[in-house]
Structure 1
Amino acid sequence: MKIDFTKNNDGLIPAIIQDNETKNVLMLGYMNQEALDKTLETNKVTFFSRSKNRLWTKGEESGNFLNLVSIKNDCDNDTLLVQVNPAGPTCHTGLDTCWQEANNQSFGFISKLEKTIQNRKENADSEKSYVASLFAKGMNKIAQKVGEEAVEVVIEAKDNNDDLFLSESADLLFHYLILLQAKGFQLNDVVNVLKNREK
């Protein structure tokens, strides 16, 4: 890994810290060559602290270490992306990130869709909202819809119409997300089960 520590007079380069699992950015620190070497040697992220004017291993006082997974440099060789498994909150304030955000797993559009389903469940008129009407009809109807959509996915999987297969797959996923919320869960709960099964 070729890294240019000479672009700044102080010999420091930015190190962006990213959670390896959630992909959330946790903090920004600075490294010199010595901090990088110590990070690679110990597998605990070490910075050069500008305020303390010394090497500083994150977690040396709190125990909330940043356990190293990987380090990549950018196209200009003057910024690092450091992927970690955090052992506790990252920010000195006790929060997950230095941007006062929870370090929760996000699935992009799927997470947005889950929020929409929750909002319709809690706030929408069942006469105007399909989602609200399903919740109003109860668990049996929601489970029945998942079963119907699953059968349609299987039928379309045996045909050669990819558009229909994808459309039915979207319907199945949508209704499954509704079923999860009807049971008091979200997709992240299922992902955690799968992670626990990983060998």
Structure 2
Amino acid sequence: MDGTNLVNPIILSIQTAAIALALAFPCGVLLAKTMAGKRFRGKTALETLFLLPVVLPPTVVGFLLIILFGKHSPVGSMIEWVFGNSIMFTPWAAALASTVVAFPLMYQSAKAGFESINPEIEEAARMDGAGTWRTFLHITLPLSSTALVTGAILSFARALGEFGATLMFAGNIPGKTQTAPIAIYMAMESGRTDEAWFLVAVIILISFIMLYLSSLLKSK
């Protein structure tokens, strides 16, 4: 593998993690805001479902994605009919797999941030005439910004390191779906230890920076 092919998996991993974050962030924030402070029957079961990808083996997540979005599934068939191609074994499949495993971290952080806000502050804003969305944008989001940024950082780092679900759902196609974790595995399988070390060092560096930033935010 030459230098260009060593860089490609890293670039693809960063792009995939960025797309995953772009999808997980709004979903996590909106669902967390909906669930924060609410009490209803089945809430625990529903939140457990949201967090399940954190504890499930990646191969199980990959299997479920194939069942849900594969060519023979209703959703997969509809996607193929609309776009003329299956989502499996495409960069979007890698992004979707990363989104699924990154979402729980975004949801947990956002929910913790929202629940840390004194509800009287939001109520006072509404009493002053601010609507629901205005209160959310100008009061709730700023007060929970540290938790949201922390969740975004952790979600990006988790998406960056996704391996098992991506391999099953997106495959190992160099330049298309071969992310850095998959490239590391393939390099080790082929005895290319030097290439594996390079990719490992880059991923460790990026992950370290992400976690360091997260720790800095939490300490403030």
Q: TM-score, normalised by structure 2?
A: 0.25
Larger Rg: 1
More strand per residue: 1 or 2?
A: 1
TM-score w.r.t. structure 1 length? 0.27
